[in-house]
Amino acid sequence: MIGYWTRRPAGIVVGITGFNYPLLLASHKLAPALAAGCPIIIKPAPNTPLTTLWAVDLIREVLREHGVSPYTVQLVTGDNAVGEALVRDPRVAVVSFTGSAAVGHQIARDAAPRKVVLELGANTALIVGSDADVESAVDAVIRGAFYANGQACISVQRILVHDAIADEFEHMLLARLPEVLVGDPRHDSTRVAPLITEASTARILAWITAARPAGPEFSPAAIWSTAASPRPC
């Protein structure tokens, strides 16, 4: 018996991206599709379409220069209804999605039995054991919890610290928080800027309000409002 396989383009790809890294996430879908010889329809997040529009325009110019049809790369903007129409279209061979877990699971159901590539959100925990390098762990929180204003699926969203070093960890973390400057994203020193929408801000504030009756401790310095110039959180 002889067995063999060949690599062949799967067919039309639909790429649906998130808002937090519009160029990077679009590249994750555009580059593999083109490398495999597949035409692709990219749908950027409704809040951040401009970067992807610019990228697609550049890619289409390069395709023309190399004798490839620019229509190999298409872009469609719109809301969830547009995404649903693309995902459910039987002519689509592969759906690549970056976003929330709930939407990703729905896409997997709608696209079945066709192929899906899902990069979904999470509730990432940083676990600090009793034998940890506390200074390094605190540094990981400062870097990992605040980049992209926390709007990233791999940001540090929960911290689980062993009792034996909890006090030391908390003391060191509070001492480092003044490094996290809040303000205009155009300033080099700014570490945290406004969230993507007012609705996102309201959702976070609602979480804080709901958590208070459970008895957590809130430092007044840990809650801030956005200002024109950077300020520590």
170 is a catalytic site residue: no
φ, ψ (nearest 5 deg) of residue 14 = -110, 125
State the catalytic residue, choosing from 38, 84, 119, 170.
119
| CA–CA gap between residue 85 and residue 179 (Å, rounded) | 45
State the catalytic residue, choosing from 61, 65, 135, 153.
153
| CA–CA gap between residue 62 and residue 16 (Å, rounded) | 22
* CB-CB contact of 42 with 52 (8 Å): yes
* CB-CB contact of 17 with 44 (8 Å): yes
For residue 16, give the nearest of 41, 53, 47 by alpha carbon: 41
The partner residues of 105 in beta bridges, in order of sequence, read none
38 is a catalytic site residue: no
Residues noted as catalytic = 119, 153
